[in-house]
Structure 1
Amino acid sequence: MNKTQEFSSRWGLILASLGMAVGAGNLWRFPRLAGQYGGTFIVLWIFFLLIWSIPILLSEFSIGKKFKGGVVSSYAQAAGKKYTWLGFFIAVCTLGITFYYSVVTAWGLRYLFLATQNLVGTISINESLQSDPQFLQHFWSDISSENISTVILHIIALIVAGVVLYRGVQEGLEKANKILIPTLFGMLILIGLIAVNIGNGIHGLEYMYQIDTSLFKNPTVWIEAVTQSAWSTGAGWGLMLTISSYSRKNEDVSLNIFISGFGNNTASLIAGMAIIPSVFALASSDQEALAFLQSGNFALTFTIIPKLFNQFPGGDFLSVFFFLAFFFAAFSSLLTMIEMFIKMLDDLGFDRKKATVIVIGICMVMGLPSAYSLDFFANQDWVWGLGLIISGMAIAFAVHRYGISLFKKEFIDVDSEVKLNSTFFRFTIYLIIPLGFTLLWWWMSQGYSKYPWFDEEGNWNVFDVYSNATILTQWVIVFGLGIILNNLLYKKFVHKKEAEKVIN
């Protein structure tokens, strides 16, 4: 492998791992869910970090480090030729998220522009709220659906990502994360400290960690907890597998994963401590704050933060800092998602620069529906966010195929100074697959659409945003395509790569 396609140091690799894990999900998705379900969600979310995300991330990292390929190539070598289609599903699932994740980055840019306009006096958020108390909600509704400026910013975000990644791993991805990640953590800590000390902010902190035991009976909370853990840490995405394919030969697997996993959860908690107390600080009563949080408002981050920061002197500056942090978080994760796609084309023999241009072009086109329609965005988030459970199960299956104890000994422990207990690792890998199936069955049995399978006329309800039918249809298409093309995928991604190794 060309030396330039490796991280220069452990610090570079750790920052890339944190850049992948700490994203918009920490500032946008986690506060919404923690606000909706309180401490019950947080308990389950930490539980799934330990028994789901950490074991999967350890497995992903070690597979990428061992085989030095992209998702399809490395997975096929770990699980065996006839299961290449599972690696294909992991790749498509993450690409499905990538195609709309650039839209989240675009939202961050649009709110950064709003905060900047407020700072320089072009727009006054305070005056706008006085004339229209729903100004921020209307602003969100405007930019999130059928808005050309969002489409343009989606394209700009991808172009900037392409320019960064065009330069390679060390000069592009690594250097970007050395700036993005430390700056992001610093801004999050500052915002959290301010929010907790405003008005009734402390009540929000108390609510955030309050446990309602009745919610443990709600399958939605369990599913949201495991998908948030998978979403936020990157477990099952194939992203950690991609990052580790650029690691140095003797890189410590366990230490990198522990820092990445717990660092990500720390960032999420800080973000929650900034946003949830903000709701209590702004609400006229605790009851109003609870009603708002428990509604699961999709735009919680976008409608609360600008309003909060305009309540005190200097808040206009902090609002700019927050949305700059949001953009940094989303952009750092977007970089890794696009890098995964580039690495797959590299496995097929494409020159990196050519691969970067191709990937950016595909992401622009495939992301257009989500940039234009919030319903399409929500559908893709629903389908592929839940699909991460299957991706995590697929990683665990590859470990089963190799032999759990042997895999840990030869893949994980060989270069690890800090080692996870072998009994605990075996337990979690055995648990992941039946647990995943149970959660999926539990989730779908609830029917989160009015017509989960068939509409009122008896037709397969595939076009419903949140139906089980739309989830299953899109999954089956990807599974079917992967199974049909299994041998071809193995030939293209594995045989071609092995032939190149022989030549080199």
Structure 2
Amino acid sequence: MKENVEQFSSKWGVILASLGMAIGAGNLWRFPRLAGQYGGTFIILWFLFLFIWSIPILLSEFSIGKKFKQGVIASFAQAAGKKYTWMGFFITVCTLGITFYYSVVTAWGLRYVGLSAALLDNTTALENLNQSFLDQYWQSVANGSVLTVILHIGVVIFAVFMLYQGIQQGLERVNKILIPSLLFLMLLVAAVALSTENGPKGLQYMFHIDPALFFNSKVWIEAVTQSAWSTGAGWGLMLTIASYSREKEDVTFNILVSGIGNNVASLIAGIAILPAVFAIASDDAQAISYLQSGNTALTFTIIPLLFAKIPYGEFLGVIFFIAFTMAAFSSLISMIELCIKTFTDLEFKRTKASIITAVLCIALGMPSAISLDFFSNQDWVWGLGLLISGLFINFAVQKNGIQKFKEEYIDKDSSIIIPTVLYKSAMYLNIGIGLFLVWWWMSQGYSASPWFTEDGKWNFFDVYSNATIVTQWGGVIVVGLIFNNWLYRKFVK
């Protein structure tokens, strides 16, 4: 078995890397909408699923990476068994599918930093800023923009350059700067937003509990999916980070800090956005309408308008989009490290692995940089695929025996011992949760023709069809099954 020689310098290096992986654009653009839509009811359920779904899976991932000190494919194969190597392959491809378009999200953030900065020195443009202009600007940024493509390429090159230097000089150093800076900027935005006339009203609305919503299945679904995707449970990223951990690394403490820290960051983002929404809305109904307008709409076509209409809003807009870009980049570098680690497991030198990773990320991310439809399709397919990845992690634990796995993988070197009955219950419960979520998501009818077109053809090219999900997942699984033994030999032996 090949082992890493690189390690984080301290447990805080691991924790900051874990926080950087978890705290991403979703904290700033998806959570505020859901918190605004469902209030305190959603927040309670979201915290509940942090401990039911996310933390148990993250504990499992981290302990596998810590034990085997290799990337996702090699570590998973050793944890689950040789004939299940294909599952580790699926987890890797699923996360890489997200990596290839996540640099585009970072590029979008930079575009809006530029727009916000331009408004600082142009009073006329700021006063005339309207919804129609922002809608058109968003379409120009997300579809066929040469500047967005250039920024996508630049973001990938910069990320790979930072990482090729190694774990301590690359990933650890970047996160020591990114995470404290990101949290400071988010707190600053929240403080200014709360200082507006109706700001506290937004905060009150965010934490208001409507008991009736506890009986709304959609709120439960939104809560568990937000927790799963925001914390990075099932991505394989925590496994990759743990492969560079020290021999006696505290598994449970690191995961609890990472998971709870991610949720705190989301709350800060909500505290920043919701008061700003209520500050400029003419009434509560309009504020709620803003919040329910959708992820990308809220972030890119409404947030600039909000900040333009509150005191010091033009400065706040710049700060917000810098924070957004930093959040996206902090997650991106962990994803790119997973790709680099995959190639170093194949005994490529880190420099060569970094170059290959850069070429792959630039080339395969290009379609998403050019077309919003392609971007949305990949987000749809591989975002949902993370639930399958989480189930595969769960499977690896079950193969070892849950209690035995916990005692030998998680509890060893942990300063905090979670009761076995809680971990066991969560892992069994998560099988049902994961399968139900996949079924529910695919049964919602996001496409008019989920499986076949009107003329009977397989509806693969529809952005949100079930056919495109099954085809892309199926292709990866078939390849993994065909090359299962080869993957095991190349990565493990």
Residue matched to 2:305: 307
Relative to 1, partners in 2 of residues 1:4 and 1:487: Cα closer, same or farther, differing over 3 Å?
A: closer
Indicate which of 462, 467, 470 corresponds to 2:468.
470
Deviation of 1:335 after TM superposition, in Å, equals 0.5
Q: TM-score of the superposition, structure 1-length normalised?
A: 0.94
Aligned-pair CA distance for 1:4:
6.6
Which residue pairs with 2:126 in the alignment? 126
| Partner AA of 1:93 in structure 2 | C
> Partner amino acid for 1:434?
G
* TM-aligned CA deviation for residue 403 of structure 1: 1.0
Q: Residue by residue, what CA displacement relative to the aligned partner does 1:147-166 show, whole Å, maximum 9, x if unpaired? A: 11111111111111011012
Q: Which residue of 2 aligns with 1:252?
A: 250
Within 5 Å, give how 1:48-127 maps onto structure 2: 48-119=49-120, 121=121, 125-127=125-127
Counterpart Cα distance in 2 of 1:297 and 1:339: 27
State the AA in 2 paired with 1:460. W
CA contact (8 A) 2:276 2:307 kept: no
* Inter-partner Cα distance in structure 2 for 1:111 and 1:463: 30
* 1:393 matched residue in structure 2: 391
SS at match of 1:414: coil
* Shift in alpha-carbon separation, 1:125–1:276, aligned structure 2, 3 A: farther
The corresponding residue for 2:226 is 228
Per-residue CA shift, 1:224-259, capped at 9, x if unaligned? Answer: 322221211110000000001000100100000000
Question: Aligned pair in 2 of structure 1 residues 31, 312: CA closer, same or farther (>3 Å)?
Answer: closer
Runs of 4+ residues deviating >6 angstroms: 1-4
Aligned residue for 1:329? 327
Q: Tell me if structure 2 keeps the 8 A contact 1:90–1:237.
A: yes
Shift of 1:21: 0.6
Contact 1:4 1:169 in 2 (8 A): no
Structure 2 regions of 5+ residues with no counterpart?
Answer: none
With structure 2 as the length reference, what TM-score do the two structures score? 0.96
Q: Which amino acid aligns with 1:147?
A: S
Question: 1:150-192 deviations in whole A, cap 9, x for unaligned?
Answer: 1111111111101101211100111111111001111111211
1:348 aligns with 2:331: no
Residue 124 of structure 1: CA displacement?
5.4
Q: Does the CA-based 8 Å contact 1:109-1:327 persist in structure 2? A: yes
Rounded Cα–Cα distance in structure 2 between residues aligned with 1:202 and 1:162: 42
Distance 1:220 1:96 in 2: 27
Instruction: Structure 1 unaligned segments of length 5 or more: list them.
Output: 496-504
User: 1:431 pairs with 388, 408, 429, which one?
Assistant: 429
* 3-state SS in 2 of match to 1:415: coil
CA distance, structure 1, for counterparts of residue 179 and residue 369 of structure 2: 26
User: 1:411/1:137 Cα in 2 relative to 1: closer, same or farther (>3 Å)?
Assistant: same
Quickly say closer, same or farther: Cα 1:294–1:176, change in 2 above 3 A: same
Mean alpha-carbon deviation: is it higher for 71-80 or for 37-46?
37-46
Counterpart Cα distance in 2 of 1:165 and 1:87: 23
How far does the alpha carbon of each residue in 1:253-300 deviate from its partner, in whole angstroms, 9 at most, with x for none? 000000000000000111011112211111111111112222325221
Would you say the 8 A contact 2:131–2:305 is kept in 1? no
Q: How far 1:389 sits from its partner (Å)?
A: 0.7
User: How far apart, in 2, do the equivalents of 1:2 and 1:437 lie?
Assistant: 35
> SS at 1:5's partner residue?
coil
TM-superposed CA distance for 1:420, in Å, is 1.1
Please give the alpha-carbon distance, in whole angstroms, between the structure 2 residues aligned to 1:174 and 1:88: 26
Contact 1:309 1:316 (C-alpha < 8 Å) held by counterparts: yes
Cα distance in 2, alignment partners of residues 123 and 145 from structure 1: 28
For 1:343 and 1:133, the matched residues in 2 are separated by 44
Number of equivalences? 492
Structure 2 Cα separation of the partners of residues 106 and 459 of structure 1 = 36
Which deviations, in whole Å up to 9, do the C-alpha atoms of 1:317-355 show, x marking residues without a partner?
Answer: 332222111111111111000000100101000000110
Matched, 1:41 2:42: yes
2:231 & 2:182 partners in 1: Cα distance? 16
2:291 to 287, 293, 307: 293
Distance in 2, Cα, partners of 1:459 & 1:21: 39
Task: Report SS of the residue matched to 1:134.
Answer: helix
Partner secondary structure for residue 128 of structure 2: helix
1:450 partnered with 2:481: no
